[in-house]
Copies of this chain bind each other. A is one copy, B any other.
Amino acid sequence: MTARPRSGRRPGDSKTREAILAAARQQFGEQGYDRTSVRSIAAQAGVDPALITHFHGNKQALFTAVVELPFEPRKVLPRLLADGPEQVGRHLAEFAVGVMESPDGRRRLLGLVRAAASEPEAARLVRELITTEILGPLAAALPVEDAPYRASLVGSQVVGLAMARYVVAVEPLASQRPEVVAASIAPTLQRYLTGPL
């Protein structure tokens, strides 16, 4: 009768890190920063809360380790720009709506939005992330002087759609068909990018 060890390292491959990250991603995404606790993440990951401190230092570091865009802009952007400048609005709108319709994409995007809304530090993180990863490259692809401003206008409509359709869930926008929504905002994005301001 060997007693079951009650502490100490476990035999075999450890999937603890991945479990923590997965649980953190889900809970931060669904409930925002403040309402998810280190303890609840640990519980969902089937792990002692102290392990989170051990691996990531503190809650905020875990958050920043987990915050990421639901797509890779450097891979996506060229595709959206491929059909010429007059199609960017439509492609952008369809891509944005498409991301928000996939469960994982929506979860991650709303995680960013929720966190930015409640935590100033997270807002800074999100600002730098989307500025360098999305708006910067997007602006760089536009052959006009005020490209950064135009790109940030695009950002405002996209994040506004996320808020109105998924967070606040205002009707009938929330239950409108994705293709219709994409078609509705496509001209907006197109004008922000290439039209007269």
Contact = CB atoms under 8 A, between A and B. Distances in A.
A130 to B, nearest CB: 7
Contacts of A192: 184, 188
A89 to B, nearest CB: 12
Contact of A161 (B130, B160, B168): B160
A11 B185 CA distance: 60
Interface stretch (A43-51, A58-66, A112-120): A112-120
Interface class of chain A by DSSP: helix
A45 to B, nearest CB: 23
Q: Which of A130, A153, A168, A184 lies at the interface centre, i.e. has the most chain B CB atoms within 10 A of its CB?
A: A168
Nearest to A158: B160
Interface in A145-197: 148-149, 152-153, 155-161, 163-165, 167-173, 176, 180, 183-185, 187-188, 191-192, 197
Contact of A156 (B148, B173, B180): B173
Nearest to A191: B187
Contacts of A126: 168
A35 interface: yes
A34 to B, nearest CB: 4
B116 A188 contact: no
A149 B171 CA distance: 7
Contact of A172 (B148, B159, B164, B172): B148
B170 A155 contact: yes
A29 interface: no
A131 interface: yes
A157 B155 contact: no
B173 A197 contact: no
Interface of A: 32, 34-35, 113-114, 116-118, 123, 126-127, 130-131, 135, 148-149, 152-153, 155-161, 163-165, 167-173, 176, 180, 183-185, 187-188, 191-192, 197
